[in-house]
Structure 1
Amino acid sequence: MTSYVSICNKLGQKGTKTGSKGAPIRYEAVERCLEKLYKIAEENQASIHMPRIGCGLAGGKWECIEPIISK
């Protein structure tokens, strides 16, 4: 049995520092990226594995990210 691993890089933030406009996370961009990733995974009968994306340097809140992932 041959198994493959694919990597998906996404852009879900603008900039790298929290400033007057808030954290660099862009929840809408994260959602769009995950929707595209879901379609690709579904077509390839693949599973998706990831850490708590968007909650580190991007400054996102898990309580906002988790529902996007669940959706």
Structure 2
Amino acid sequence: MLTSDVDQVFTRAEIARRLKLSEKTLRNWAAMEPPKGPPFVRVEGGRVRYPAKDYFEWEAAQFTPP
């Protein structure tokens, strides 16, 4: 079964590489109240995943001129 782009998810390591940040920074952002950074979901075992659609929307919003 093929996964569509809408269903694609990224790991914390993939997002960290993409943003040129450490995984620790992303963990710290996720622990903030409210959370900072790209939207994420927790999956089985407490793992964090970043849905591609949500990530790309967040990324685009970071570069929108005021």
TM class, shorter-length: 0.3 to 0.5
Please report the TM-score for the alignment, with normalisation by the length of structure 1: 0.31
Which structure carries more helix by proportion? 2
The one of the two structures with greater contact order (alpha-carbon pairs below 8 A, sep at least 6) is: 2
